[in-house]
Amino acid sequence: MTNRVNVTIDGRQVQVEAGSTILQAAREAGIRIPTLCYHPDLAVRAVCRICTVEVKGARTLQTACSFPVTEGLEVRTNTPRIREARRVNLELLLSNHPFECPTCARNQDCELRSLADEYNVRRVRFEGERKQYTIDDSSPSIVRDPNKCILCRRCVDVCSSLQAVGAIGPINRGFDTVIGPAYDEKLAEIACAMCGQCINRCPVGALYEKDSISEVWAALADPKKHVVVQTAPAVRVALGEEFDMPAGSIVTGKMAAALRRLGFDAVFDTNFSADLTIMEEGYELIERINKGGVLPQLTSCSPGWIKFIEHFYPDLLPNLSTCKSPQQMLGAVAKTYYAEQSGIDPASIVSVSIMPCTAKKFEAKRPEMNSSGFQDVDYVLTTREFARMIREAGIDFASLPEEPFDSPLGAGTGAAVIFGATGGVMEAALRTAYEVLTNRELKNVEFEAVRGMEGIREATVDVDGLPVKVAVAHGLANAQALMDKVRARQVDYHFIEIMACPGGCLGGGGQPIPTSPEIRQKRAMAIYREDRNLPWRKSHENPDVQRLYKEFLGHPLSERSHHLLHTHYTPRGR
Amino acid sequence: MAQPYYRAHVLTCAGSGCTASGSTSVMLSLETEIRRRGLHEEVKLVQTGCRGFCAMGPVMMIYPEGIFYCLVQPEDVPAIVEETLLKGRPVQKLLYREPDSAKRLPFYKDIPFYGRQMRIALRNCGFINPEDIDEYIARGGYEALAKALFEMSPDQIIDTVKKSGLRGRGGAGFPTGLKWELCRKAPGDIKYIICNADEGDPGAFMDRSILEGDPHTVVEGMTIAARAIGAQEGYIYCRAEYPLAIERLKKAIAQARDYGLLGDRILGSDFSFDLRIKEGAGAFVCGEETALIASIEGRRGEPRPRPPFPAASGLWGKPTNINNVETWANVPPIILHGADWFASIGTEKSKGTKVFALTGKVNNTGLVEVPMGITLGDIIFDIGGGIPDGKKFKAVQTGGPLGGCLPVDMLNTPVDYDSLTSAGATMGSGGMIVVDEDTCMVEFAKFFLTFAHAESCGQCTPCRIGGKRMLEVLTRITEGKGTMDDLEKIDVLARTMADSSLCALGQLTPSPTMSSLRYFRDEFIAHIVDKKCPAGSCRELVHSRCSNACPAGQDVPRYVGLIAEGKFEDAYRVITEVNPLPAVCGRVCDHPCERKCRRGQIDDPVSIRALKRFAADQMRGLKPEPPARRMDKKVAVIGSGPAGLAAARSLAQEGYQVTIFEALPVLGGMLAVGIPEYRLPKSILHEEIENNILSLGVEVRTGMALGRDFELADLKAEGFEAVFVAVGAHDTAKLGVPGESASGVLPGVQFLRDVNLGRAPDIAGKRVGIIGGGNVAMDAARVSMRLGASEVHVIYRRTREDMPAEDEEIHDAQEEGVQFHLLQAPKEILVSDGRVWGIRCVRMVLSEFDHTGRRRPVEIKDSDFVVDVDVVIPAVGQASDVKALRLDGLAVSRRGTIEVDPRSMATSIPGVFAGGDAVSGPATVIEAIAAGNRAAKAIDRYLQGLQPLWVPPAGPTWTRPDAPIKPPYEIVEGEMRRPVMPELALEERMNGFPEVVLGYTPEMAMAEARRCLRCDLEAK
């Protein structure tokens, strides 16, 4: 039984768990306290000073996000004193913020902008010097505009705590404080995973993805180009949020319809190549186990994770599966198999992907990703960019019909769609590995042990007498914890799935903003719902994949597979 | 090993201050000299920590005599050895010289700087060699630790500290014992003790001095606390800028470990504790305990929100107790001597002593430790020796950059946590910066804000941006670009910062600004509305300090420069642009300009008044241009003193028809009837009135008093459309003692008037008693001497320094034989048979400070005595009889003066303006002229039908040149005193009333003018 205490908030008696904050207590009581630097994913910083409240007995205002409640605490959340402090602090932030709202990437969902409205700030009384920094657009994934930064530190915390990367931090002090890489280095030059989690947490437009919309519009407008597109599993359960649908809405059919209306020549599904990945990666694992290869095998579909391991655990690169990610596999197949099948000159194919991810932009640009003779993927759009294109095209998303994907790279199984959630790749691999190794039908395809939002999960699956030990981690801090154990040989897993982002791809850095554990949970539930709705739930059952092997690749780990679908990695310094 | 016996000990200060003044080389030459003389087995040389009297460093003490030497240089060493160590005689020139009496004080104990101090935290500083643990032990060191280990339980230790009333000396003043108790009771096996040695207040150096002078007291204090709290490990977080402190701490820790006073099983007990030093990078915010902890942990030094407090979750998340150096230094004496002893010192809520770093415009700068409850004034004036160069005390900033500035009327504030806080300042870590009249309070506030804002960690919004915006507002104000709206903005920003910043740095950043605004609001308004910096310090607003100080705004450097060039007529014309009475002002102006002259910081201020007189005397007879236009409108000026004359001239120059109405038979007001002939010859005055005012067509009607001979209605009937009332203050304030109405009592103003009008009373051979210390008193005294009085006694209730009369006047009076009776006040004028025969006086003693910054004299009981006199001249102030003017609806102040708008001089009656002494109370000639000029401008606007009558300047009326300008002559840059003014020989003076001061020759004047540094030509 938990220890509960009585507190009074705005005259209302509330009973809450001891040790919870005033903010939590107020939310339980249905009282809204505005916040800015607070984020449910992150430790409390209490630096913006927007959530200040009056605590009886305290000399100064206290921050609701940090103040722990105790028995008998009396709090007021809405007094002239509080409103003045909040308004003045908002004015101060605005006095050092560029008024570029109409052209800002966060035009519609800027937290500072909505708070200014909420607190009726119609004028900024305090004028003065504004900071002037150059925008860092060196990274292929993330753009930093320190001029818009309000120093809430969310990005710093997400980068160092959730992601264990620590790419950015506060430099200088006082008014000259700026968030950025140490020694003013460029984002492209440092150990940044490009996961984009910072973007998802940024309350304003100080961090946003490197935009590829205009290039894609240009390709679509070019009659000489054949533009193919693929959509990652996690996009279909999040895109709806961009169009005011509740989190967890599944919009697969509308998404395909929208892509066609935007003018894409072929609408493919990354689910197809996710199934293909399982085939290749599964056989790779079986080979490693059978032939005494390097174990544990580590998944390689998350490009943020790849960048991370290249920087921080280069000694573990032999453990990484050599499989390209589903995005790259589809790109490679599109410019070879598909081109061949449909008689299109691969040079005229433009390969676009819709991804929940900013690191995918970096991955697509990796120089080794061109074994077909062409870059596997030409342009990567995040879920957010995709939504912007839909809006720009004047498409009424909600009223679109449900349409299917195109053949031959459009079919996907339930095993593929769960790639979008943490644990999904592992579960998909187990579904296939079990049947391939045992030649018996798997009755219960749902491996609950690898599902959920626990940071690190592990399971042992009996495959025909062989206890296969697996582990799953999401978020790079969890990956770090796990890799430290692997490096120290404290664990003897066969297979480990790592996703760079909390929750897996559904929580990716290219997904709709905001994000929270609650939102991610709803997206995950949608993913598993989609899995259940699909006719095939195991990758090896995918008829298009089977046809691909029959007509083009031969068998998993064939020479052609190796050439087109596998890759190598680059150790990078810190 | 037996210690050799020494017959003398020479203690030389090796604190940072004295080291900077050269004490190392003093010690080296002393050592050489002692060896050369073969005295090294008789005389022991000791390097000590700081003795506090840094202004006088290097300082040295010689025991057993207790001789105190200051400003010792290596070349003084042979004399010290020869005279003091061999012959036992003090070296006179190294002894401390009392500024007032110029007396040399040989002994440490007699020096006022030390006299009122009480040293607990600094008890060993300056007495022991800080690098020798034995010396610490010899003075009772580590006895408290032994007592705490073997005679007291942890609870008893905490109880003792609680009962002692010790509060944190770092600034917040949290009760130390309670803090320890919270940490002791916090659950957890591992606990930490931290010493905050991140002393960051600019100017504060008490912690450094303790660490440098007595490091073991910190080690001992921390170890005692560790025992009480249950900590095993301690950190001393010391800024890396204190290398000497760190070195001495390291030695102290090593020695303590050697002696079994630190480490495992201390002194054989079951208690183990050890200390580490952590060097900090000197960020001010790391004084905040959570930021300090972050820094020790290797993180960026930023505070975090509290709760949880460090007592519950501190270093590495463990319960942690932090106190600062000075707090730790108080712990061993408290344990050793008991809680009652400590609690007997100080005030009810602030026990013990506090160390202050006394700096700024005060004679004795340095480190002082005083019992709590002593007043600010006692520290500044008794220990600090008052303000240098005869300047006026303006404010004292306590608590460092997060403290506040307190004005003169707070000098009686007792120095304790709560009194200072309620006054709007703080105790802080003990910074105490004194500023004088030359400091601009806006700039002073800006200085602290600049510091605090630069030290903001940058985490929280109000501190990071609010501090910046506030600084921008203050900067605007100092540049003359502020608006009244800006004061409102400061208020709002300050409230938000204080109320919503994350840590004390942000919360207190506005404090200096807010206290300045609270106590010196007028000064802010002067910058904003008048575009003027009254202190003469804001460069964008002050074209030169002298002209800034002049009420009439005379362009001093310009006319001084013209004199240097030999262009006397041009100089004269510059003067008369604003001043109708240069020959008068050249003689009797109180020259506030000279007090501010920058040349005075090198040798002597430029003799601005004498140069003005020179120009005027050269140009005698020169008349102004007649007015360019002639207007019908008539203006009446009531009173022909300097205010009336100035207004009359300005209005006549504008073309108005001006008539002066004067009650007396002569023109000039107080200039004619208040100032004696020997200071201002009548001929000069009348010539100047004739030439500079009447020649412009101004009419005069003498013997006409408003209210007696005519009324406002008569003026209206005669067609006067505006009236300027400048009737002066010709009545003498009452003494309020019995016998005042007797026939031998002659009020000072009346006495001088009678003499000036040729109706001098016969006081030849009589004994005259003059009561008061102002210029009227001096004039009356010197006039009495000239009228043949046998004795003249000036009786004044305060000291000579407090006399309002000009220094030169006092000096001349003394020279002429006037006798002064200071700190005495009349109780009764003794009269028998209607004749005065004496004054019964009482002796006075100075007590607390009054609103003027002078100590208030109070009677010493039963100290009455009688001064035998035949005539009594009270001269304790002047008054004007405003009621007699019979002006209906005239607003009058409580002091009995006419109330006006200070910028337009408009009274409550439309069309009626007023200025001069009748408005300001007794003031100076130049203030009266300034008032007349201001009134003339407003009257002009009034008669043109313009509103408002005064228009604020849009910005600074003048811009400083971008590049320095060279004058067409050579400025004298090397040291050169001002020339001695030729004066009439003493024996020639007393015979009648010939002018005493004779004036410069052209050669003298030109040479003197070249001493002007031409601040006006300096670049931005």
Cis bond upstream, residue B401 (ω within 30): no
The predicted-structure confidence for B753-764, as pLDDT tens digits, reads as follows 999 999 999 999
The predicted-structure confidence for B977-1005, as pLDDT tens digits, reads as follows 999 999 999 888 888 899 999 999 999 99
Given a contact cutoff of 8 angstroms between Cβ atoms, the answer to whether A109 and A61 are in contact is no
A174 closest CB neighbour out of B458, B469, B489: B458
* Mean of the per-residue pLDDT values of chain A: 96
* Mean of the per-residue pLDDT values of chain B: 94
Is it the case that residue A2 has pLDDT exceeding 70? no
- Search chain B and give the residue with CA nearest A97: B465
Is it the case that residue A251 has pLDDT exceeding 90? yes
CB contact under 8 A, B496 and A52: no
CA–CA separation, B46 vs B948, rounded Å? 73
B206-213 and B243-258 helices, crossing angle to 10°: 40
Helix segments in A202-268, DSSP class H: 213-221, 252-262
CA–CA separation, B44 vs B132, rounded Å? 14
CA–CA separation, B133 vs B115, rounded Å? 28
Locus of tokens 């919004």: B461
**What are the structure tokens assigned to B848, written together?**
């607390």
CA–CA separation, A360 vs A301, rounded Å? 10
A60 closest CB neighbour out of B302, B461, B507: B507
Least confident of B140-154, B239-253, B617-631: B617-631
DSSP B796: E
β-bridge mates for residue B829, sequence order: B839
Q: Which of B304, B459, B471 to mutate to test the interface with A (most CBs of A within 10 A)?
A: B459
Is it the case that residue B395 has pLDDT exceeding 60? yes
Interface residues of B toward A, Cβ cutoff 8 Å, are 283, 285, 300, 302, 304-305, 307-308, 453-462, 464-469, 472, 489, 492-493, 495-496, 498-502, 507
* Mean pLDDT across B273-283: 93
Q: In whole angstroms, how far apart are CA B816 and each of A564, B15, B782, B990? A: 115, 50, 7, 8
A85 contacts chain B (CB < 8 A) = yes
* Mean pLDDT across B200-212: 90
Instruction: Output the pLDDT for position B51.
Output: 86
Residue B3 banded pLDDT, cuts 50, 70, 90: low
Distance, in angstroms, between B458 CA and closest chain A CA? 4
- Search chain A and give the residue with CA nearest B488: A125
Q: Which of B418, B449, B463, B469 to mutate to test the interface with A (most CBs of A within 10 A)?
A: B469
CB contact under 8 A, B507 and A177: no
Residues 86-125 of A with CB under 8 A from B: 88-89, 92-93, 95-96, 125
CA–CA separation, A457 vs B526, rounded Å? 71
* Beta carbons within 8 Å of B801's beta carbon, 6+ residues apart: B100, B390
Task: State the amino acid at position B651 in one-letter form.
Answer: L
Is it the case that residue A120 has pLDDT exceeding 70? yes
* Beta carbons within 8 Å of A102's beta carbon, 6+ residues apart: none
Cα-trace Rg, chain A = 25
Surface-to-core class of residue B899, CB atoms within 10 Å of its CB (0-12 exposed, 13-18 middle, 19+ buried): middle
CA–CA separation, B94 vs B72, rounded Å? 7
Please give the angle made by the CA atoms of A60, A61 and A64, to the nearest 5 degrees: 145
Please give the angle made by the CA atoms of B480, B486 and B487, to the nearest 5 degrees: 105
B466 closest CB neighbour out of A45, A84, A92: A92
CB contact under 8 A, B500 and A175: no
Distance, in angstroms, between B306 CA and closest chain A CA? 8
CB contact under 8 A, B305 and A44: yes
User: For residue A153, which residues of chain B lie inside 8 Å, CB to CB?
Assistant: 459
* Mean pLDDT across A212-217: 98
Distance, in angstroms, between A166 CA and closest chain B CA? 13
Among B468, B429, B433, smallest CA distance to B450 is for: B468
User: Which parts of A162-223 are beta strand (E)?
Assistant: 169-171, 178-180, 207-209
CA–CA separation, A375 vs A367, rounded Å? 8
- Search chain A and give the residue with CA nearest B450: A174
3-state helix, strand, coil in chain A (%, to 5): 40, 15, 45
* Mean pLDDT across B681-686: 96
Among A523, A524, A519, smallest CA distance to A472 is for: A524
Backbone dihedral region for residue A36 (phi beyond 0: left; psi -120 to 50: alpha; all else: beta): alpha
**What are the structure tokens assigned to B795, written together?**
């009786």
Element (H, E) at B194: strand B192-197
B460 closest CB neighbour out of A47, A68, A127: A47
User: For residue B426, which residues of chain A lie inside 8 Å, CB to CB?
Assistant: none
Instruction: Output the pLDDT for position A211.
Output: 96
pTM of the model: 0.92
CB contact under 8 A, B454 and A60: no
**What are the structure tokens assigned to B774, written together?**
């102002």
Query: Which DSSP string do the residues of B347-360 spell out, in sequence order?
Result: -SSSBSEEEEEEEE
CA–CA separation, A469 vs A446, rounded Å? 17
Residues of A annotated as catalytic (active site), given as ranges: 281, 284, 301, 321, 360, 363, 368, 505
User: For residue A88, which residues of chain B lie inside 8 Å, CB to CB?
Assistant: 462, 466, 492-493, 495-496
Task: State the amino acid at position A394 in one-letter form.
Answer: G
End-to-end alpha carbon distance in chain A: 46
**What are the structure tokens assigned to A142, written together?**
């993330």
Is it the case that residue B947 has pLDDT exceeding 70? yes
Q: What percent of chain B lies above the pLDDT cut of 70?
A: 100
Instruction: Count Cβ atoms below 10 Å from residue A458 Cβ, excluding itself.
Output: 16
Distance, in angstroms, between B288 CA and closest chain A CA? 15
Instruction: Output the pLDDT for position B1.
Output: 43
β-bridge mates for residue A457, sequence order: A472
Phi and psi at B927, nearest 5°, equal -65, -40
Task: State the amino acid at position B9 in one-letter form.
Answer: H
Q: Which of A47, A61, A62, A81 to mutate to test the interface with B (most CBs of B within 10 A)?
A: A47
Helix segments in B363-440, DSSP class H: 376-377, 417-423
Is it the case that residue A371 has pLDDT exceeding 70? yes
* Beta carbons within 8 Å of A11's beta carbon, 6+ residues apart: none
Instruction: Output the pLDDT for position B621.
Output: 87
The predicted-structure confidence for B413-468, as pLDDT tens digits, reads as follows 999 999 999 999 999 889 999 999 999 999 999 999 999 999 999 999 999 999 99
Instruction: Output the pLDDT for position B65.
Output: 87
Q: Which of B465, B471, B476 to mutate to test the interface with A (most CBs of A within 10 A)?
A: B465
The predicted-structure confidence for B20-57, as pLDDT tens digits, reads as follows 999 999 999 999 999 999 998 889 999 998 888 888 98
Instruction: Output the pLDDT for position B683.
Output: 95
Element (H, E) at B60: strand B60-63
User: Which parts of B885-988 are beta strand (E)?
Assistant: 912-914
Is it the case that residue B681 has pLDDT exceeding 60? yes
| Higher per-residue pLDDT: B925 or B954 | B925
Is it the case that residue A445 has pLDDT exceeding 80? yes
Is it the case that residue B881 has pLDDT exceeding 60? yes
Distance, in angstroms, between B200 CA and closest chain A CA? 16
Residues 13-52 of A with CB under 8 A from B: 44-50, 52
Least confident of A79-83, B473-477, B657-661, B961-965: B961-965
User: For residue B455, which residues of chain A lie inside 8 Å, CB to CB?
Assistant: 173-174
**What are the structure tokens assigned to A501, written together?**
């982002």
Q: Which of A69, A81, A173, A179 to mutate to test the interface with B (most CBs of B within 10 A)?
A: A173
* Beta carbons within 8 Å of B1005's beta carbon, 6+ residues apart: B563, B610, B611, B614, B615
Among A48, A302, A257, A255, smallest CA distance to A152 is for: A48
Instruction: Count Cβ atoms below 10 Å from residue B992 Cβ, excluding itself.
Output: 9
β-bridge mates for residue A13, sequence order: A8
* Mean pLDDT across B209-233: 97
Is it the case that residue B2 has pLDDT exceeding 60? no
Is it the case that residue B4 has pLDDT exceeding 70? no
Is it the case that residue A466 has pLDDT exceeding 90? no
Instruction: Output the pLDDT for position B438.
Output: 94
CA–CA separation, B888 vs B909, rounded Å? 8
B464 closest CB neighbour out of A66, A67, A175: A175
Residue B915 banded pLDDT, cuts 50, 70, 90: very high
Surface-to-core class of residue B759, CB atoms within 10 Å of its CB (0-12 exposed, 13-18 middle, 19+ buried): exposed
Distance, in angstroms, between B171 CA and closest chain A CA? 16
